Amino acid sequence: MCKSEIFAETINLVSQETEIPVNRILSSDKDTETVDARYLLVRLLVERGMYPSQIALQIHKTKRAINYMISNFQERMEGGKMLRIYWENIKKSLGNN
């Protein structure tokens, strides 16, 4: 599977699970639900083998912003129950318990 396929599959999974449209996840919206979806997307893409620089190009953020999301994902997940639920559901659907 190539990078673009991995990205497309992952963002569609996140969008479907969180019920947030793809264009909103890729926007600069800063509401909690959208930011949570963006964090989920970034973390999943890293786990699926993409580098922060590749992710940054795909979602139109800086590499520094991507690294920030990666390093603060766990902390954000501890603070948000819905984020944990989304994470577990997506991991199950990917077959990576």
What pTM, to 2 d.p., does this model score? 0.93
Q: Extract the runs of DSSP E, i.e. beta strands, from the chain.
A: none
CATH number of the domain at 25, please: 1.10.1750.10
SS3 19: coil
| Per-residue pLDDT tens digits for 23-80 | 999 999 999 999 999 999 999 999 999 999 999 999 999 999 999 999 999 999 999 8
Side-chain-side CA neighbours of 45 within 13 Å: the count stands at 32
The total of structural domains in the chain comes to 1
pLDDT at 48: 94
Residues near 80 by Cβ (< 8 Å), separated by ≥ 6? 32, 36
| Per-residue pLDDT tens digits for 17-36 | 999 999 999 999 999 999 99
Which residue range is the domain that position 73 belongs to? 3-94
- Tell me how far apart the alpha carbons of residues 34 and 53 are, in angstroms, rounded to a whole number: 21
Question: What confidence tier does 96 reach under pLDDT thresholds 50, 70, 90?
Answer: low
